Amino acid sequence: MSTEIAVVGPGRMGVGIVTAILLGDQGHRVTLIDTKKREAGTETGALETALAQIEDNLTLLGKLGLFEGDPQTVCHQVQLSVDTADVAPCAYIFEALPEKIDLKREFYAAVGPLMGDESIVASATSTFQLDVFSGACSKPGHIVTAHWLNPAFLIPLVEIAHGGATHPWAVEKLQGFLTGIGKIPVTLRSSPGFIVPRIQVAAMNEAVRMLEEGVATAAEIDTAIKAGFGFRLGVLGLIEFIDLGGVDILSHAGNYLHSALGADHYKPPALVSQKMRDNEVGPRTGKGFFDYRGVDTTAMFRKRYQGFVELLDLYRKSSVLSFTGGIDKQ
């Protein structure tokens, strides 16, 4: 079933979102809108450049076997506009404007009266909490965050964050749409850094600290991440990883590193200490952060091992994937 969709902002994220929508369902009617005031005669220049990039993305995806159809024909279905009013018939409006709060507030003030009773506007912001600009909109209950990860047309995850005024139906409806185009949405309360960026920043800063301290070279650190830490996370989530290793292991390691390195960010969170007191340290006690009562943990571990084997096989067969850190100069 065809749906009217607007993507506002012809930058990298806007291009990625349009590509993802076309990749997931070529039947949707998409309008790409540029709200920036430009010099006379250049009003559609950024839009035409964005459309060419979308076509290039689809062409590459076709060569990789991920897209079927003629990219040029599909791109001709994308309407280009410099008028915010063209969001009016759209069920979904994806805002991908630059991270400037005044610019976003201006947009949300303008878009409110144009939205239908069941329209949803989803901000692709990676910085701001919803309540920062949703107050400027006459329909704050219709606003959510849809935080796509670059490249938006390849990364499956989209983080949906709801603000204090967001209607539950808006979250559920957006979940359904994203699932329908092949994405994997997760929902969360609007919080600085969402889920992935918050964890990424902590890990990235720690990698740079080790480089700064001379613990290892950049290439060695990246090899360790690709062949060890990151590899395991392709099969296990972080919380499951803690449980299967043992919450007690995290507690002991955190306390040791806090003592040895003198940095408070290593100190175990209060919830870890609570789990230790309650003897909820993972599968061997029946409960950790997940509940393992009634779970065949032997079968569970076998499935995880099988996942590791399949990933290893994928790496062995690939001409692109590598566990080695550093830049390939060839």
CATH of the domain at 92: 3.40.50.720
Q: What is the 3-state secondary structure (H, E, C) of the chain?
A: CCCEEEEECCCHHHHHHHHHHHHHCCCCEEEEECCCCCCCCCCCHHHHHHHHHHHHHHHHHHHCCCCCCCHHHHHCCCEEECCHHHHCCCCEEEECCCCCHHHHHHHHHHHHHHCCCCCEEEECCCCCCCHHHHCCCCCHHHEEEEEECCCCCCCCEEEEEECCCCCHHHHHHHHHHHHHCCCEEEEEECCCCCCHHHHHHHHHHHHHHHHHHCCCCHHHHHHHHHHHHHHHHCCCCHHHHHHHHCHHHHHHHHHHHHHHHCCHHHCCCHHHHHHHHCCCCEHHHCECCCECCCCCHHHHHHHHHHHHHHHHHHHHHCCCCCCCCCCCCC
Q: What is the per-residue pLDDT across 22-37, written as a single tens digit (0 to 9) for each?
A: 999 878 999 999 998 8
Q: Quote the CA–CA distance of 243 and 152 in Å, as a whole number.
A: 31
* Mean pLDDT value across residues 38-44: 81
The pair of structure tokens assigned to 86 is 């063209």
pLDDT at 276 over 80: yes
Q: What is the per-residue pLDDT across 94-110, written as a single tens digit (0 to 9) for each?
A: 999 999 999 999 999 99
pLDDT at 1 over 60: no
pLDDT at 262 over 60: yes
- Please count the structural domains in the chain: 2
* Mean pLDDT value across residues 279-290: 97
Domain-ending residue, one of 170, 189, 208: 189
Domain-ending residue, one of 159, 189, 219: 189
Closest CA to 182 of 311, 66, 76: 66
What pLDDT is recorded for position 143?
A: 95
Are 66 and 95 a contacting pair, CB within 8 Å? Answer: no
Whether 263 and 157 share a structural domain: no
pLDDT class of 131 with cuts at 50, 70, 90: confident
Please tell me the least confidently modeled range out of 17-21, 24-28, 281-285: 24-28
Whether 169 and 262 share a structural domain: no
Which percentage of the chain shows pLDDT scores above 70?
99
**Residue 159 resides in a domain:** yes
What pLDDT is recorded for position 315?
A: 95
* Pairing of the two strands 29-33 and 120-123: unpaired
Whether 178 and 238 share a structural domain: no
Whether 178 and 204 share a structural domain: no
Q: Quote the CA–CA distance of 87 and 116 in Å, as a whole number.
A: 10
Phi and psi, residue 153, nearest 5°: -85, -5
pLDDT at 302 over 70: yes
CATH number of the domain that 261 lies in? 1.10.1040.10
What pLDDT is recorded for position 27?
A: 86
Whether 44 and 148 share a structural domain: yes
pLDDT class of 330 with cuts at 50, 70, 90: low
pLDDT at 2 over 70: no
What pLDDT is recorded for position 25?
A: 84
pLDDT at 211 over 90: yes
Q: What is the per-residue pLDDT across 220-242, written as a single tens digit (0 to 9) for each?
A: 999 999 999 999 999 999 999 99
Q: What is the per-residue pLDDT across 184-208, written as a single tens digit (0 to 9) for each?
A: 999 999 888 899 999 999 999 999 9
pLDDT at 173 over 90: yes
Q: What's the domain range around 9?
A: 4-189
What pLDDT is recorded for position 26?
A: 77
Closest CA to 307 of 249, 240, 259, 254: 240
**Residue 41 resides in a domain:** yes
Q: In one letter, which amino acid is 102?
A: D
**Mean predicted lDDT score pLDDT of the chain:** 94
**Residue 326 resides in a domain:** no
What pLDDT is recorded for position 329?
A: 67
What pLDDT is recorded for position 296?
A: 97
Which percentage of the chain shows pLDDT scores above 90?
89
| Residue showing tokens 């003030």 | 109
Q: Quote the CA–CA distance of 186 and 168 in Å, as a whole number.
A: 14
